[in-house]
Amino acid sequence: EVQLVESGGVLVQPGRSLRVSCAASGFTFEDYGMHWVRQAPGKGLEWVAGINWNGGSIGYADSVRGRFTISRDNAQKSLYLQMNSLRVEDTALYYCAKPPGISAAGYYFDNWGQGTLVTVSS
Amino acid sequence: QSALTQPRSVSGSPGQSVTISCTGTSSDVGGSDYVSWYQQYPGKAPKLVVYDVIKRPSGVPDRFSGSKSGNTASLTISGLQAEDEADYFCCSYTGIYTVFGGGTKLTVL
């Protein structure tokens, strides 16, 4: 059974940095690209970033490009999102999501974690 | 990277059919073979119910069906059941990035 478990979400002040993580199990992690999708409280879903199987191809949403960095460690079966210069509008539940193949393409997401809550507030 | 447009809410009675629309542009929905739909219950993670415009993952009832015409994709739920009451999000991969719709709340009357 595929399991994705996010962690690292906390309350942080605007302008600060934070790294959230996603631990994967139940599938061959290095055979798949991975993505981050976020959902602000009471709002819709927003794609944040995607990475291919070996980190060689990466894509970002315009709203986070230049501030966020997605990365992965296949040996640890983990996905990361480094978030710098955080803004109030980055407050959201951050989901780790698995696409169907090895590329960074977000064709669709067939498995999701339960999310980790990042709150940006002074 | 503008969000796709969905109605904020739709409703139907048990046994009826409802259709949720998702309107984009020729750069996303209209030009993509990769439109997907997700069902989300309050406090839960999204669940894939339709992918590649018309395909259903294993385990999703055939009451759920997807289609597309021009720049608008649609999710139709037939034989509506109480358990179908949830939020539904459409999604399109453009070849460069992925974009979601704003979400539609389905109420089963």
CB-based contact B100 A110, cutoff 8 Å = no
B5: alpha, beta or left, given left = phi > 0 and alpha = psi -120 to 50?
Answer: beta
CB-based contact B38 A61, cutoff 8 Å = no
Q: If you write DSSP's letter for every residue of A44-64 in order, what string do you get? A: -EEEEEEE-TTSS-EEE-TTT
Say yes or no to pLDDT of A24 above 80.
yes
Over residues B46-81, the pLDDT tens digits come to: 999 999 999 999 999 999 999 999 999 999 999 999
Task: Compare CB distances from B97 to A44, A59, A109 and report the shortest one's residue.
Answer: A59
Over residues A63-116, the pLDDT tens digits come to: 999 999 999 999 999 999 999 999 999 999 999 999 988 877 889 999 999 999
Over residues A25-42, the pLDDT tens digits come to: 999 999 999 999 999 999
Smallest Cα distance from B68 to chain A, Å: 16
Contacts of A106 in chain B (CB under 8 A): 91, 93, 97-98
Sole residue written with tokens 């994705």: A4
Backbone angles phi, psi at B52, to 5 degrees: 50, 45
Closest residue of chain A to B38, computed from CA coordinates: A109
Helix (H) or strand (E) holding B90: strand B86-93
Q: How far apart are CA B95 and CA B33, in angstroms?
A: 10
What is residue A104's predicted lDDT score, i.e. its pLDDT? Answer: 74
Backbone angles phi, psi at A29, to 5 degrees: -55, -45
Closest residue of chain B to A59, computed from CA coordinates: B97
What is residue A106's predicted lDDT score, i.e. its pLDDT? Answer: 82
Q: Note whether B93 contacts A: Cβ–Cβ < 8 A.
A: yes
How many CB atoms lie under 10 A from the CB of residue A15?
11
A89 neighbors A37 (Cβ within 8 angstroms): no
- Tell me the CA distances in angstroms from B89 to A53, A79, A98, one per residue in order: 26, 24, 17
CB-based contact B1 A110, cutoff 8 Å = no
| Residues of A contacting chain B (CB within 8 angstroms) | 35, 37, 43-47, 50, 59, 61-63, 95, 100, 105-110, 112-115
What is residue A103's predicted lDDT score, i.e. its pLDDT? Answer: 78
Best residue of B44, B53, B92, B98 to probe chain A, by most A CBs closer than 10 Å: B98
Average pLDDT of span A35-54: 96
Instruction: Give contacts of B 27-56 with A, CB under 8 A.
Output: 34, 36, 38, 45-48, 51-52
Smallest Cα distance from B92 to chain A, Å: 7
Q: Which residues of B77-96 are buried (b: 16+ CB within 10 A; e: fewer)?
A: beebeeebbbbbbbbbbbee
Do strands A78-83 and A18-25 pair parallel, antiparallel, or not at all (unpaired)? antiparallel
Do strands B72-77 and B64-69 pair parallel, antiparallel, or not at all (unpaired)? antiparallel
What is residue A105's predicted lDDT score, i.e. its pLDDT? Answer: 84
In three-state secondary structure terms, A83 is strand
